[in-house]
């Protein structure tokens, strides 16, 4: 059958975008025609100002025909504009529906991904990790507390009485040292200066002279 009659040409199905574009093109053409009719009417209006009698009547009849033609064009344009508004509304609904479908599809994909990711999470393991972290934190606190502890003084902390005894002992010790220094200073004062003391070598006998005299004898 296809060999005998052939196959029909497969034309793409019209879309809202293409149909809207065609309507806009048609409305634009009607606007041009309506503008031409307006120019023609202004020409008739200017001409009738200078005419009288039958010529004026003929010009007015011609102007009426132009006006009727313009009204038909305006009616066509109005219908096409209504169709265009309806198609634009349908296009907006279609765009909104496509956006909604895309949103739903994205949510489904995200839901699948979340389920897959949550399926890999082990709550028991998380709890164990948290317990280990708490234990480590407690151990760290204990170590810090141990390191910050002061060393105890043997015999306990000194009291006021012990402080008074220590100060009294220090006072006696300082007093004894000062007395020794004073006594030593007095003894040094009784001694003669070095340059006033006799030289021992002066009082010693001249042994060398005696020996010389003996030899001379």
Measure the CA–CA gap between 117 and 120, rounded to whole angstroms: 5
Residue 8, domain member (yes or no): no
**9 phi/psi in degrees, rounded to 5:** -70, 130
Residue 33, domain member (yes or no): yes
Residue 212, domain member (yes or no): no
Residue 26, domain member (yes or no): yes
Q: Give the whole-number percent of the chain exceeding pLDDT 90.
A: 23
Residue 146, domain member (yes or no): no
* Angstrom distances, CA of residue 184 to CA of 173, 175, 196, 197: 17, 14, 21, 20
User: Looking at residue 110, what is its pLDDT?
Assistant: 92
**Total domains present in the chain:** 1
Range 47-68 average pLDDT: 84
Within 8 A by CB and 6+ apart from 166, the residues are 158
Measure the CA–CA gap between 80 and 27, rounded to whole angstroms: 7
For residues 207 and 18, the model is more confident at: 18
pLDDT over 60 (residue 95): yes
pLDDT digits (tens, 9 = 90+) for 198-217: 555 545 444 444 544 444 34
Measure the CA–CA gap between 3 and 7, rounded to whole angstroms: 8
User: Looking at residue 18, what is its pLDDT?
Assistant: 84
Within 8 A by CB and 6+ apart from 73, the residues are 30, 33, 34, 37
pLDDT over 90 (residue 28): yes
pLDDT over 90 (residue 72): yes
Q: Which domain holds residue 73?
A: 15-119
* Angstrom distances, CA of residue 192 to CA of 21, 47, 61, 180, 197: 138, 161, 166, 21, 6
User: Looking at residue 76, what is its pLDDT?
Assistant: 94
Residue 67, domain member (yes or no): yes
For residues 132 and 52, the model is more confident at: 132
DSSP state letter for 191: S
Output b/e per residue, 26-46; b: 16+ Cβ within 10 A: bbeebeebbeebeebbeebee
Measure the CA–CA gap between 73 and 80, rounded to whole angstroms: 11
Residue 10, domain member (yes or no): no
Residue 100, domain member (yes or no): yes
Helix (H) or strand (E) holding 96: helix 53-119
């Amino acid at each position: 059958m296809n060999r005998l009659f052939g196959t029909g040409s497969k034309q793409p199905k019209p879309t809202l975008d293409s149909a809207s574009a065609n309507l806009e093109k048609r409305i634009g053409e009607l606007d041009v025609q309506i503008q031409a009719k307006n120019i023609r009417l202004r020409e008739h209006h200017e001409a009738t100002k200078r005419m009288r009698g039958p010529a004026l009547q003929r010009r007015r009849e011609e102007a009426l025909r132009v006006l009727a033609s313009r009204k038909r064009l305006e009616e066509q344009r109005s219908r096409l504009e209504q169709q265009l508004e309806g198609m634009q509304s349908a296009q907006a609904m279609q765009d909104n529906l496509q956006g909604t479908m895309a949103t739903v599809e994205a949510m489904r994909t995200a839901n699948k991904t979340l389920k897959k990711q949550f399926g890999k999470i082990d709550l028991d393991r998380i709890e164990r990790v948290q317990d280990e972290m708490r234990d480590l934190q407690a151990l760290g606190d204990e170590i810090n507390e141990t390191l910050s502890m002061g060393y105890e003084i043997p015999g306990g902390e000194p009291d006021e009485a012990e402080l008074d005894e220590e100060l009294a002992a220090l006072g006696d010790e300082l007093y004894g040292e000062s007395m020794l220094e004073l006594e030593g200073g007095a003894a040094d004062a009784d001694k003669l200066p070095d340059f006033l003391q006799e030289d021992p070598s002066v009082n010693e006998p001249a042994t060398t002279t005696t020996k010389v005299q003996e030899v001379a004898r």
